[in-house]
Amino acid sequence: MEETYLLNVEGVKKKILHGGQGELPKLQDGSKFTFHFQTLKDDFERTVIDDSREAGMPMEIIMGKMFKLEIWETLLSSMRIGEVAEFWCDAIHTGMYALVSRGMRRIAEGRDPLEGQKHRCGMGNLFDYHSTGYDDLDELQRTPQPLIFIMELFRVEDPSAYKRDTWAMSKEEKLAAVPVLHSEGNRLVLRREFAQAAAKYQEAVICLRNLQAKEKPWEDGWLKLENLVTPLVLNYCQCQLELGEYYEVLEHTTELLQKHNDNAKAYFKRAKAHAAVWNEREAREDFQRVAHLDPSMAAAVKKELKQLGERMRKKHVEDRKRYQGLFQSSQGL
């Protein structure tokens, strides 16, 4: 049994359980990994959380396609075809696992992976988000922790090998496809088909990122493409807000703001996501940045801050009642 450490990846240990064949696959954005996996807790019993073999289907992910659990791309990229490897991943890499697992479980059950996350107004939507619908995943969401992933890689497919789409296009064809995808996304938003619209925006972003990878960062060509990417990412985030995928919004707006820290719309969407998951201080800070960067949005910010204050007050009242009820129940024992 051979043990290695993945270079330049903090908080990850790799152990090869069964060697693979040939060289490491040549990868690019759009490469598709097909693999089985098992997820275990890092406890004495090595408690099994998920097992794709029990679900009856292998897992597939496409490299560079905004998969929530980004570390999986790194793990799979270190593997040869036929290899079985065990990866220990620190909590810094596993915080999104509960949300990923929720979607995979629902698909295996033949259910809509977005079930229960459809857009609704009021407090109910916010309370729904705090439960995944699975007790063990709720525990992981409350207390992020190291996890162990055992993976068996079956195949890696070149983008053009499994689907003729934007990946197989020339640079000119990809650039021509972006406004079409953008327009289709906008049309779907008007019909309130947010999941489908997000997929269109996502495809356009991936197409541009693929082109951007061939340019020098922050030079003219790269910046022109980045200017096309930014509104698409913001549209994608708006769809995720509508779908209740608040942590997805936090992830992508934060990444966007690391490059463009003066983007008021990104702060606004991040603020709404923070507010939805009860991060009151962060939400207020982001809303204040919006008003500072773009005074024309001051009225919208004022309205959001008022709603945030009302929701927080209501939550505090409900929490107080709940705690009082628990205290009274304990006294009666």
**Structure confidence at residue 56 (pLDDT):** 73
**Structure confidence at residue 67 (pLDDT):** 61
CA geometry: angle 62, 66, 67, nearest 5 deg: 65
Number of domains, the chain:
2
Q: d(Cα 213, Cα 255) in Å, to the nearest integer?
A: 17
DSSP assignment of 250-272, as one string?
HHHHHHHHHH-TT-HHHHHHHHH
67 and 207 in a single domain? The answer is: no
Residue 6 pLDDT more than 90?
no
183 and 256 in a single domain? The answer is: yes
Q: Domain limits at 189? A: 171-326
The string of pLDDT tens digits covering residues 233-260 is 999 999 999 999 999 999 999 999 999 9
248 and 303 in a single domain? The answer is: yes
- Confirm whether 332 is domain-assigned: no
140 and 255 in a single domain? The answer is: no
Domain boundary among 157, 184, 200: 157
11 and 153 in a single domain? The answer is: yes
User: Which of the residue ranges 3-17, 145-159, 232-246 would you say has the lowest mean pLDDT?
Assistant: 3-17
Q: d(Cα 271, Cα 281) in Å, to the nearest integer?
A: 10
Tell me if 42 sits within 8 A of 15, measured CB to CB: no
- Confirm whether 227 is domain-assigned: yes
The string of pLDDT tens digits covering residues 97-144 is 988 888 888 777 665 455 554 443 333 333 344 677 888 998 888 888
175 and 119 in a single domain? The answer is: no
259 and 209 in a single domain? The answer is: yes
- Confirm whether 165 is domain-assigned: no
Q: What number is the average pLDDT over the span 274-284?
A: 91
